[in-house]
Structure 1
Amino acid sequence: MPWINACATDDIDEEDVIRFDHGDTSYALYHSPDGDFFCTAGFCTHEKVHLADGLVMDYLIECPKHNGQFDYRTGEARRAPVCVNLRTFPVKVEAGRVMVDLP
C-alpha cells in the first residue's frame, strides 16, 4: 500500500500527539523531543480511550483514563494497567509532510 499523507510536520508540536483517522481506523501521531515522528494505533490497549487525549513525556504516551504508559517508538507497554503493546507503523517525512505506511 502507498504511503499515506497524514499531516504537516508543523501540525504536531514537539513532545506532543495528534489524532489521525484513515478509513475506519484511528491512529496517534507523535513528534519526539529529538525531532522524529512516530505513529501508533490510536486507542489504548487497556480500554478503548484515544491516546491523542493523553500526555506525552519524552518518548512515553500516558493514557488519559488510567495513566498507563507506552513507549510510542516501539509500542511497548511501560506502566500498569496496560500490559498489551501498541501496534506501531513506519513513518517518514517528505517535503514537510508526515507520511505513514499503513496496512
Structure 2
Amino acid sequence: MTGWIRACGLDDIEQEGARRFDHGGKTYAVFRSAIDEVFCTDGLCTHEAVHIADGLVMDYEVECPKHAGAFDYRTGAAKRLPPCINLGTYPAKVEAGEVMVALG
C-alpha cells in the first residue's frame, strides 16, 4: 500500500455527498456521511463504468446515476441490481480538515 494521499478538503464534500478523485490514472469516489465519516471506493460503477460520485448519496448508500443500482459505500457491497460486483474500497481519514486516502 502506498502512503496517505490528499483527496480533497473535508468541506469540499457535502454531508451525505460524494466527490470524484483521480489519481495514478484511476478514478475514485470519496464519500462523507451525515456524521462526517469519510470513505473511499472505486470511482466507476461496476455495471457500466459510470462515475459513481455523481449518484445520489443517502444512508450509507450511493445510487448509480445511470441505472439506479446501489452500493454501500462503507463496504463497497452491491446492494441493488443491476450491479452485482462490489466496488473496491480504500482506507480514508480526515487530518487537519483534509480527506486522506491510502491507495494500494
TM > 0.5 between the two?
yes
Q: TM-score range by the shorter chain?
A: over 0.9
User: Is 1:77 the equivalent of 2:78?
Assistant: yes
User: Is 1:68 the equivalent of 2:69?
Assistant: yes
**C-alpha separation in 2, matches of 1:86 and 1:64:** 15
| AA aligned opposite 1:15 | E
* Superposition CA RMSD, Å: 0.6
- Please give the residue correspondences for 1:1-103 in structure 2 after superposition, counting only pairs within 5 Å: 1-103=2-104
TM superposition shift of 1:72 = 0.1
**C-alpha separation in 1, matches of 2:96 and 2:41:** 22
TM (norm. structure 2) is 0.96
TM superposition shift of 1:57 = 1.1
Gap runs ≥5 in structure 1? none
| AA aligned opposite 1:25 | K
Secondary structure, aligned partner of 2:49? coil
* Structure 1 runs, 4 residues or longer, greater than 6 Å off: none
Secondary structure, aligned partner of 1:86? coil
Secondary structure, aligned partner of 2:28? strand
| AA aligned opposite 1:11 | D
Secondary structure, aligned partner of 2:11? helix
Gap runs ≥5 in structure 2? none
